[in-house]
């Protein structure tokens, strides 16, 4: 902690223990899925085959320098990287999570900020809505929240469609290698 290289060293160390020990634990315990982003890990398993507490103990016995913590699903739902994941009818549904302290304030339309700064937060909200694998109901709910935020900050709601269409046009001009093609 504190050193600019801390993140790099911790990532190298975690990748090392994943390759030398964690992979074996996952195989031995019939883990269906293992996903890690920095220090957040999501493990998907069949509870009739896997005792997740055995996996948890094995992880915590890997090294004395790292102690893992565990959050189990509650009511068929768990948060991973601020994305609520819910099991429903043998499928997973995703939502957008907002912390209780989140407000609906962004840079107001009538501020003296540059236009691109004003639109950045709106683009982020729209991009998140379109990037997450939301079902139709969740996507519509998220669109309504975004429109509320836009309206509350004195923007025209049609800006949602304008910024969405701008992003779609940018994506349609991407070449096969992700490079912008010139028209």
Read off the pLDDT of residues 27-43 as tens digits, 9 standing for 90 and up. Answer: 999 999 999 998 899 99
User: What is the band of 120 on the pLDDT scale with cuts at 50, 70, 90?
Assistant: very high
Q: For residue 92, what are its two tokens?
A: 């997973």
Q: For residue 88, what are its two tokens?
A: 């429903």
Same domain, 146 and 100: yes
Structural domain includes residue 111: yes
What was the pLDDT predicted at 159?
80
User: What is the band of 168 on the pLDDT scale with cuts at 50, 70, 90?
Assistant: low
Q: For residue 25, what are its two tokens?
A: 């634990």
Q: Are 149 and 106 in contact (CB under 8 A)?
A: yes
Same domain, 105 and 160: yes
**Beta-carbon contacts of residue 173 (< 8 Å; ≥ 6 apart):** 180, 181, 183
**Rounded distance, CA 160 to CA 56, Å?**
44
Same domain, 97 and 57: no
Q: Are 142 and 129 in contact (CB under 8 A)?
A: yes
Task: Give the alpha-carbon dihedral of 114, 117, 119, 125, to 10 degrees.
Answer: -170
Same domain, 68 and 115: no
Structural domain includes residue 179: no
For residue 63, the enclosing domain spans: 6-72
Of 72 and 183, the one with more pLDDT: 72
**Rounded distance, CA 68 to CA 53, Å?**
12
What is the number of domains present in the chain?
2
Structural domain includes residue 11: yes
For the question of whether the overall pTM of this predicted structure is more than 0.85, the answer is no
* 87 bridge partner residues: 92
Which residue, 58, 55, 156, 153, is CA-closest to 105?
153
Q: Are 52 and 43 in contact (CB under 8 A)?
A: yes
């Amino acid at each position: 902690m504190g050193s600019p290289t801390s993140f790099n060293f911790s990532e190298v160390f975690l990748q090392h223990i994943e390759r030398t020990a964690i992979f074996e634990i996952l195989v031995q315990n019939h883990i269906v899925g293992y996903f890690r982003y920095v220090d957040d890990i999501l493990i998907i398993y069949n509870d009739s085959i896997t005792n997740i507490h055995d996996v948890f103990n094995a992880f915590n016995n890997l090294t004395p320098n790292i102690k893992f913590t565990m959050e189990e699903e509650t009511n068929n739902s768990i948060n991973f990287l601020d994305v609520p994941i819910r099991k429903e009818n043998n499928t997973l549904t995703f939502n957008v999570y907002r912390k209780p302290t989140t407000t609906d304030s962004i840079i107001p339309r009538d501020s003296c900020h540059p236009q691109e700064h004003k639109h950045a937060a709106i683009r982020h909200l729209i991009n998140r809505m379109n990037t997450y694998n939301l079902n139709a109901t969740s996507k519509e709910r998220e669109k309504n929240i975004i429109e509320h935020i836009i309206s509350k900050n004195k923007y025209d709601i049609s800006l949602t469609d304008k910024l969405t269409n701008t992003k779609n046009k940018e994506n349609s001009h991407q070449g096969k290698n992700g490079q912008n093609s010139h028209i």
